[in-house]
Amino acid sequence: MATGAGAGARGRAFDSGRICLDLVATGPGSHGGHEQLDRPARLADWLVSSGLVPRGTPLTVVDETWPARFRGLRAAVDRLMTAELAGRTADGALAGLNALAAVPPPGLRAVREGGVLVRVLSDGPDCERLLAAVARDAVELLTDPVARGALRRCEGEACGRLYLDGSRGRRRRWCSSEVCGNRERVARHRRRARGGEEAPDPPREIDA
């Protein structure tokens, strides 16, 4: 399955590098944002924006039971990644993740549309299979030493998003340099100004 950028807080696109981490970013505690999976319509939007289902896929089958199931998977992934970063284990969450990952993910087909090939689901959207796609992505991340070693949590105040650090030297500190990084630079400038130090003009603060 494709792992496109998910919809971040306040509608801003956020690409963590993995779809399982994009799911974690939909939580209310991420980036000081609000709950993004509180009702079927919003989950349907995320399924498309994340790349989990192709654009144009009818999602009328997404009912009131789907958001709770995705929030449950989100909690398990968050717990597992948090434990990984802390050098701990979370075997209860791991058992649930493995159970979801054991289900076959959605099948895909390539069909011609307007003279080009586009991706469509082989069958109609199925909650269990879509959960399996995200769960398998989390399993792959946790069992890949290189990817696991790049796992980071944003150091931005009131953020805490998870992402994969692909920067040179693995020195990336924020989920977004333009948002959390810029906020930190602005805050640093203000601290210096309050302390009586001569500070350069702060960077332009970006509305997030």
Query: pLDDT tens digits for 79-96?
Result: 999 999 999 999 999 999
pTM beyond cutoff 0.75: yes
CATH topology of domain 6-163: Jann2411-like fold (1.10.3300)
Element (H, E) at 194: helix 182-194
Lowest pLDDT segment from 46-50, 119-123, 198-202:
198-202
Q: Where are the domains of the chain?
A: 6-163, 176-208
Q: Helices in 3-159 by DSSP H: which ranges?
A: 19-24, 40-49, 65-86, 91-101, 127-143, 145-149
Are residues 111 and 56 in contact, defined by beta-carbon separation less than 8 angstroms?
A: no
